[in-house]
Each structure stands twice: as structure tokens, then as C-alpha cells.
Homo-oligomer: A and B are copies of this chain.
Amino acid sequence: MQTERQKEIISVALNLISEKGIQGLTIKNLSKEIGISEPAIYRHFESKIDILIAILEFFKKNTELIFKAELSNEANAIKKLEHLFLNHFATFSITPSMVSVIFSEEIFRNEPLLIEKISEVIATNDKILTSIILAGQNNSEIRSDIEAKNLSIIVMGSLRLFVKKWQFSNYSYNLLEEGTKFFDTVRLIIKK
């Protein structure tokens, strides 16, 4: 389990990445933001890499929770996808700094250990999304003239860019509200 301080460090680290990019995440900035000295950080994490790993672990748990919840859901495929979208929008609305992590492939580029963890998360989510779409196709809810694999790219790509635009606008509008409307267009595109 994590201590309160560890959770605080991860939260502040996420904010730093979100605001200034990965180059903004330094032990100095971290300690300044929290209000303790630099060495005090090392009382809670062995190294900076350990902090990054903890961030990815947090992200992994979070998205896997969202994705896997849909698998065991009784709803139809499109409802599942809608849930998936809206759950993401809700998460990002509460913790905008998480948006940076969804694009973390560009951020965590040094340590092989980090790259491996990211790849895992992406592969898992991709598999779940594709399997939901496939089920919807077998079900005649979702159009079958396009391979599930490709539909998955279109759906996920749209989600990503939509969120990215929100981030780029400086979170200037209500993501959950606008995202709900946007999913209506995604639905039109994938439905049978």
C-alpha cells in the first residue's frame, strides 16, 4: 500500500507533467511544490524512476478498471463503448493531469522498464476494445463491413484526439458534456 505522502508525490508529479511536460518533473520542482526538501522525497521513493513507475502503475490500474468493468457488463456493445468513453471523460474531468499519461508513449521514453509497462497497458486496452466491437458485430449492433481491428483504431483515435483538443484548449469547456455529444457522432458511425 501507499502512504499519504507517496500519494501526494504521485499527484503532484502528475500535475507537473501535465503543466510542463516530462521535463518539468524534477525532484526540485516536486519538493518545492509539496513544501519539503529534496532529500525528503527519497524518504518515500528510492529513485525518480520509482516515482515514474508508480505513476504508470496508477494509470494502469485506473484504465484497466474502466476497461475490464465493461467486459463483465451486461449491456449491449454500443452501450459498453459509451460507458467506456464517458468513464474516460469523467476521469479526465476530475484529474486533468491524467490526460498527459494517456499520451505517455511520448513522455516515458528512456527507461525500458517504463516502455514495457506502457506497451502492456496499450495492448490490453486494445484487445478489450476490439473484443467489445467484435461482439457487437456478431450481435448485428455494429456494422460488419469494417474489420473490428480497424473500427477499434477509428474509435480509439477519435477518443484520443477529442481529449487532446480539450487539453489543448486549456480545459476550457466541460469535457463530459461535450464528450457525451461527441459520442453521438461516434455511435452514428459504428452502428449497423
Nearest B residue (CB) for A146: B185
Tell me the residues in window 121-171 of chain A with beta carbons closer than 8 Å to chain B beta carbons.
122, 145-147, 150-151, 153-154, 156-162, 164-165, 168
Check: A43 CB closer than 8 A to any chain B CB: no
A-side residues, CB < 8 A to B, are 20-24, 100, 103, 105-107, 109-110, 119, 122, 145-147, 150-151, 153-154, 156-162, 164-165, 168, 182, 185-186, 188-189
Check if B158 sits within 8 Å of A162, measured CB to CB. Answer: no
Contact across chains for A168 and B122 when beta carbons are under 8 A apart: yes
The distance in angstroms between the C-alpha atoms of A100 and B168, with both chains bound, is 18
Say whether A145 contacts B188, CB under 8 Å: yes
Q: Which 6 A-B pairs have the closest CB atoms?
A: A21-B109, A157-B161, A157-B157, A106-B106, A157-B158, A150-B185
